[in-house]
Structure 1
Amino acid sequence: MASSNLPAAKAFSAPRPRAPQRSNRDIARDFLDLHFRLEGGTNLPVFTRFERPIRLRVVGNPSAGFQRDLSQLLQRFKREAGIDIQRVNSGPVEITVQAVSSRAIHRALPKAACFVVPNVDSLAELRRKRRSPDTDWSRLRSRERLAVFVPNDISPQETRDCLHEELAQAIGPLNDLYRLSDSVFNDDNVHTVLTGFDMLVLRATYAPELRTGMSRSEVAAILPGLLSRLNPAGNSIASRALPATPRSWINAIETALGPGSGFSSRKRAANQAVVLAQELGWSDHRRAYSHYVLGRMIQAHEPELAQRHFQTALDFLRQTPGSDLHQAVIRPRMAAYLIARGDGEAALQQINPALPVASRFENAALLATSLLIKAEALDLLGQFATANTVRLDSLGWARYGFGPDWAVKAKIREVADLRPSPN
């Protein structure tokens, strides 16, 4: 194998999760909807969790950086959520993490990057039990053993993101909710590592007041006192309960972002999401996300219109507490437009706020992209030495965020190609 001429992948140090900044009343509602409903809308009759210490084993061929990221995540489960979980190399286990190729995962579940299944410990067993009620989450009444399948041929960040989301679902809630702006339990994929809210949900999940088999009403009766104990600050925060997300908007977003549809169908669905968000009277992160998705889709062909959609998204997010990361995701696309116009100063002002946010939320792909765009802006301003330093700094983060050399170099070319052609 040829050696890389790029720097080694960088890694984030200690996690810096923020405590949830929301009312316990709202968090209780979220907890119930996360635990008692599946993504497709099916209601679950009972609460489930592991009722004994969790042993976890890794099989397959995990990718570089996997071991470090898994160890850090297990430490967070112990420290922040109080969950008794440990990694073992032999003997019976509650959770098996199998590292396999992306192709093997797509053969098992075509639309999934990674996934978790109850009552199996390998893809081979999953194939044998494909139509068995054992693998149906809606029939689950207790958690005994399950398997998490993660790809070993994607970037370190993507693998880490899979570990965070799938292990959290393996031991905790099974649902995702678009109304959650501060959680990985949200299909918008803005948050990629478990947040303070997520850890509070997991800590509550394993609190002694709860047990497997409880009904929704039984859990609901206990939650106010439980959350007061675990999150006393949430008692003094006013409720800002967001309305439920209708299936029509979810379907429009899924069509816009999903495979299997042509560009015109996806663009039509993105426009429909914007219209629905407006008709519903939303002004939260979901309204912003609708504009962001549409802007991202049309940016190559209608850059001016895309820029207006991005600006509209930012305008809504500025009214939304705790939306720093959502704003940071949009800023590189807006700065790219300014680079293409040759406006280095405006691009610099647009991209600089994204850098500390990307770092705080451990998003190396976003950080690397933002640094590369900053370097281009500095080049436009004639600050070539500083630009080279910033560009060099981006490479280690790009190795973690995008993976192999070819992917890093492709991102570098993509950003460099933004430069306006010389007259």
Structure 2
Amino acid sequence: MKQVKYRKITLNSLLLGLLVLLSFSITVNAQEGDPVKGKSIFNANCAACHRLDKKMTGPPLRNIEQKLADEQGLDRAWLTAWIHNSAGVIASGDAYAKQIFEEYGGTAMTAFPTLSDQDISDILAYTAEEAPPAETTADTAAVATDASAGGNVSNTIILIALAVLFGLLAVALVLVRQTLNKFAADKGIELPVKEKGLPIWKAFVQNQFLVLVTAIFLLLASAYFIYGYLMQIGVDQGYMPVQPIHYSHKIHAGDNQIDCKYCHSSARVSKHSGIPSLNVCMNCHKSIYEYTGEATEEYSQEFYTGEIKKLYAAVGWDEAEQKYTGETKPVKWVRIHNLPDFAYFNHSQHVTVGQIQCQTCHGPVEEMEIMYQYSPLTMGWCIDCHRQTDVAVEGNEYYTKIHEQLSKKYGVDKLTVAQMGGLECGKCHY
């Protein structure tokens, strides 16, 4: 009887042990992270300050859990507490937390209390992945070079072949003419000989009417071209200078849809739109240190990344230490849009009050790889705009009173800029 009871107890113990092992394995599997989900969570919450293999606002996070365990003896519980509330860990007096806090500028990491343990496991699984092999661009560049070289060789061969073909054709025509002349001589055929008349210039001079008509034509043509040349003085439409740092409006305003007035903020409140200071660029490029978007044969990813390095050199930004060195270099931007000193133009009046879009005058800047002067910016161009553009009065209190008065005067519902005095000389010249 005791033996049977003992066997029952042993069987129950085994079953209990199996349940414990099963529950433990389920718990472990639940804690195993998904690197795919972890990448998504990382990009949404961590990528603004961290990279896996590069120091930024915060330290690099490749194999961070293993590094902390090996170098500091810290486990996942410490990491979880740090992610949930880094300021609390620092306030607790933790030595390593204080060290990281001081090393990275005395700014506590943003707290993420809403991240679950599973989210953190997913993030750590993503950071634990092996670094991808460095992309070797030498082979790609070599292939591109070979392809372009092949294209150049092919074009050269075609041009040479065409030149040889035309040369052979010219020789053939000469030989045919000589053969025909020889055949005619053998047959006794006399070839007609053209009688020599007066030279063309003598015949022209003797005809006074042709001389008069030609003189008038030359005078009118000269006046036309001189007038056209003088009218283009100071008109720089299409002007596209090379800037010291290549700035792609297509990437910034087009692909990334950055509002024009984020960089040219003074256009809303000032006469001038202003050239953005480099610290505006660094608002984004502290974290964006290389270009990973689409590239072309003319502008590669390496080219764009090199231009970012020029920005760092200008502002004195130490990419490795993530801090400013104080050694700055001026960037001598080349002005593109320029009005004469006697012409007054106020950006804020057009942008804020008139609610005119930047593209109206500057063209499709979101498509411009290199910025250029889209409009002629001539007086006639401005006057035509004032004659054709209706004033935006809906919800614009600036124009409420004057719109009521002038709409009654002209008997219209909408007023153009010209009807509101936009053609008065003193508006632009004073």
TM-score (norm 1): 0.21
Larger RCO: Structure 1 or Structure 2 (Cα < 8 Å, ≥ 6 residues apart)? 1
TM-score by length of 2: 0.21
Higher strand share: 1
